[in-house]
Amino acid sequence: MDPLTYRSAGVDIGAGDEAVRRIAPLAASTKRPEVLGGIGAFASFVSLPAGYREPVLVSSTDGVGTKLKVAFLAGRHDTVGIDLVAMGVNDVVVHGAEPLYFLDYLAVHRVDPAQVGTIVSGVAEGCRRAGCALVGGETAEMNELYAPGEYDLAGFAVGVVEKSDIVTGSEVRPGDRVLGLASSGLHSNGYTLARRVVFERLGLKPGDTVPGLGRSAADELLEPTRIYVKPVLALLKTVPVLAMAHVTGGGVTLNLPRVLPEGCQAAIDPRAWPVPPIFRIIQEAGFVDDAEMRRTFNMGLGYLLVVRPGDAARAAQTLSAAGERVFDVGEIRAGVRSVVYA
């Protein structure tokens, strides 16, 4: 009987070491002054930035979901890491926090150092866009849990905010305005439905051109989630922001009420912004009704902010100057905490 090794049982330590070697310079490219040391230790060390009187750490964890299935089909793994970072840091900045550092968890069938490097290059790019440091992570080889060529991603974002500056939504009042920032597409939510429509109802392959879009299904569905951190942090220095929401699973319908106080209802005008064509294509091909679309997809708005009426124009101008497409999409009214479309 042949002797067994860890490699023959399914875990290649050598491949894991090579993957770490490739990851190290990617992490180094995101380093902030607060980061003490590099990757490879048992834990990561990050000091708090100077200048805070009562610093509060703000954390979030998330994944990319079944958008990964599109990456598997297309054989493209360079952008899903951006999505991973976006899902965490956009949640953290909702409460006024500056993202400080990020950790990732990658579970694979077998470690392919080149593929791992490609995936983590996307994570590093997302961290650079958000201004946070990639300080560590875990790559787990589990060939009995994942199919060949498949993997899962999870990420952990940590930021810091002055205690007195935490944005909670508690000061929102009837009459306040709701501003929306354009999304880059589907972002990272609704993919179980989107894939069903694009690949089954429409019968497209990843490389096929989506009718009416002029780009391939893979290009459209793998468009990275927009990261709103830097424009929002710049806005917070100039305009009082009462509440913010990252539009993820549940759409505007379910995410905006999470940051509204009792007695406040958001009246959203669905004609106030252009809905990207991919949502129309999914709705028509899938015979999806309006309510289902709005509680599944972002419908073209990736981030929402609530400001006083007198601050709306200045906030929109500041965000536009930072490169965002900004729309005044509605107002806060007295009512049951919810979103209505009017």
Residue 5 pLDDT exceeds 90: no
Residue 8 pLDDT exceeds 90: no
Rounded to whole angstroms, the Cα distance separating 25 from 7 reads 26
In the predicted model, what is the mean pLDDT of residues 72-79? 97
Confidence of residue 12 (pLDDT cuts 50, 70, 90): confident
**pTM of this prediction?**
0.96
Rounded to whole angstroms, the Cα distance separating 319 from 322 reads 5
Residue 38 pLDDT exceeds 90: no
Rounded to whole angstroms, the Cα distance separating 265 from 268 reads 10
Residue 11 pLDDT exceeds 90: no
pLDDT at 79: 98
Helix axes 229-236, 312-321, angle to 10 degrees: 140
Q: What is the pLDDT of residues 283-298, one digit of tens each?
A: 999 999 999 999 999 9
Residue 1 pLDDT exceeds 80: no
Rounded to whole angstroms, the Cα distance separating 6 from 68 reads 28
CB neighbours of residue 193 within 10 Å: 18
Residue 6 pLDDT exceeds 90: no
pLDDT at 4: 85
Q: Give the list of residues 6+ apart from residue 30 with CB closer than 8 angstroms, or none.
A: 124, 127, 128, 132, 133, 134
Burial of 24 (0-12, 13-18, 19+ CB in 10 A): middle
Q: Measured on CA atoms in the order 90, 92, 98, 99, is the torsion positive or negative?
A: negative
Instruction: Say yes or no: do domains 6-165 and 177-341 share a fold.
Output: no
Residue 110 pLDDT exceeds 80: yes
Confidence of residue 225 (pLDDT cuts 50, 70, 90): very high
CB neighbours of residue 50 within 10 Å: 7
The CATH H-level superfamily of 177-341 is: PurM-like C-terminal domain (3.90.650.10)
Helical segments of the chain, H only:
6-9, 13-28, 67-74, 80-93, 113-130, 191-195, 217-221, 229-236, 251-255, 277-286, 290-294, 312-321
Residue 117 pLDDT exceeds 80: yes
**Domain residue spans in the chain?**
6-165, 177-341
- Here the tokens at position 1 are 């009987």
pLDDT at 253: 98
DSSP secondary structure code for residue 178 in this structure: E
In the predicted model, what is the mean pLDDT of residues 182-202? 97
In the predicted model, what is the mean pLDDT of residues 243-268? 97
What's the mean per-residue pLDDT of the chain?
96
Q: What is the pLDDT of residues 257-286, one digit of tens each?
A: 999 999 999 999 999 999 999 999 999 999
Quote the distance between the C-alpha of residue 89 and its chain's center.
7
Q: What is the per-residue DSSP string for 193-208?
A: HHHIIIIIIS---TTS
Confidence of residue 324 (pLDDT cuts 50, 70, 90): very high
The CATH class of the 6-165 domain is: alpha beta
pLDDT at 41: 86
Percent of the chain residues past pLDDT 70, beyond the cut: 100
Residue 341 pLDDT exceeds 90: yes
Q: 168 or 6, which is more confident?
A: 168
Residue that has been written with the tokens 């993202």 in this structure: 99
Helix, strand, coil percentages in the chain from 3-state DSSP, rounded to 5: 35, 25, 40
